[in-house]
Amino acid sequence: MTGTNAPLRVAMIGYAFMGRAHSQAWHTAPRFFDLARRPETAVLVGRSSASVTEAAHRLGWAEAATDWREVVARDDIDLVDICTPGDTHAEIAIAALAAGKHVLVEKPMANTLAEAESMAAAARAAAAARVRAMVGFTYRRVPAVRLARELVAEGRIGEVRQVRAQYLQDWLADAEAPLSWRLDKEKAGSGALGDIGAHIVDLTHFITGETVTGVSGTLDTFVNERPVAESFSGLHGSGGTERGPVTVDDAAVFFGRLTGGAPAVFEASRVAWGRKNAMRIEISGSLGSLAFDFEEMNVLHLFDATEESRTAGFRRILVTEPDHPYIEHWWPAGHGLGYEHGFTHQVVDLVTAIADGTQPEPSFDDGLAVQRVLDAVERSAANHSTYTPLGD
Ligand code: SOE
ipTM: 0.96
**Comma-separated ranges of CATH 3.30.360.10 domains in the chain:** 142-337
pLDDT-based confidence at 168, cuts 50/70/90? very high
> Are 64 and 53 spatial neighbours (Cβ–Cβ below 8 Å)?
yes
Question: Pairing mode, if any, of strands 39-45 and 63-65?
Answer: parallel
Neighbours of 392 (CB within 10 A): 6
Ligand 1 neighbourhood includes 195 CB (under 6 angstroms): yes
pLDDT-based confidence at 231, cuts 50/70/90? confident
Instruction: Please give the full DSSP string across 225-239, using - where no structure is assigned.
Output: EEEEEEEEETTEEEE
CA-based nearest residue to 257, from 245, 265, 249: 265
Provide the sign of the torsion angle of the four alpha carbons 37, 42, 47, 52, taken in this order.
positive
- CA–CA dist 39, 225 (Å, integer): 43
Ligand 1 neighbourhood includes 106 CB (under 6 angstroms): no
Shortest-distance atom of ligand 1 to CA 199: 8
What mean pLDDT comes out for the span 133-141? Answer: 98
Task: Report if pTM > 0.95.
Answer: yes
Shortest-distance atom of ligand 1 to CA 339: 10
Q: Given this model, what pLDDT does residue 364 score?
A: 98
Instruction: Please give the full DSSP string across 125-170, using - where no structure is assigned.
Output: HHHTTT--EEEE-GGGGSHHHHHHHHHHHTTTT-SEEEEEEEEE--
- For residue 286, how far is its CA from the centre of ligand 1 (angstroms)? 33
pLDDT over threshold 70, residue 116 = yes
- For residue 195, how far is its CA from the centre of ligand 1 (angstroms)? 6
Q: Given this model, what pLDDT does residue 1 score?
A: 44
Q: Given this model, what pLDDT does residue 240 score?
A: 83
6-136 has CATH 3.40.50.720 classification: yes
Ligand 1 neighbourhood includes 278 CB (under 6 angstroms): no
Residue with CA closest to ligand 1 atom 1: 195
pLDDT over threshold 70, residue 351 = yes
Task: Identify the three-state secondary structure at position 285.
Answer: strand
Shortest-distance atom of ligand 1 to CA 169: 2
Ligand 1 neighbourhood includes 17 CB (under 6 angstroms): yes
Probe ligand 1: pick from 235, 270, 374, max atoms within 8 Å of CB?
235
What's the CATH number of domain 142-337, 1.10.8.60, 3.30.360.10, 3.40.50.460, 3.20.20.80? 3.30.360.10
**Comma-separated ranges of CATH 3.40.50.720 domains in the chain:** 6-136
- CA–CA dist 348, 14 (Å, integer): 21
Instruction: Please give the full DSSP string across 15-47, using - where no structure is assigned.
Output: -SHHHHHHHHHHHHHHHHS--SS-EEEEEEE-S
What mean pLDDT comes out for the span 203-226? Answer: 98
- For residue 306, how far is its CA from the centre of ligand 1 (angstroms)? 37
Q: Given this model, what pLDDT does residue 3 score?
A: 47
Quick one: how many helices (H) and strands (E) in the chain? 11, 17
Provide the sign of the torsion angle of the four alpha carbons 369, 374, 378, 383, taken in this order.
positive
Probe ligand 1: pick from 20, 180, 196, max atoms within 8 Å of CB?
196
Ligand 1 neighbourhood includes 196 CB (under 6 angstroms): yes
What is the DSSP secondary structure assignment for residue 182, as one 8-state letter?
Answer: G
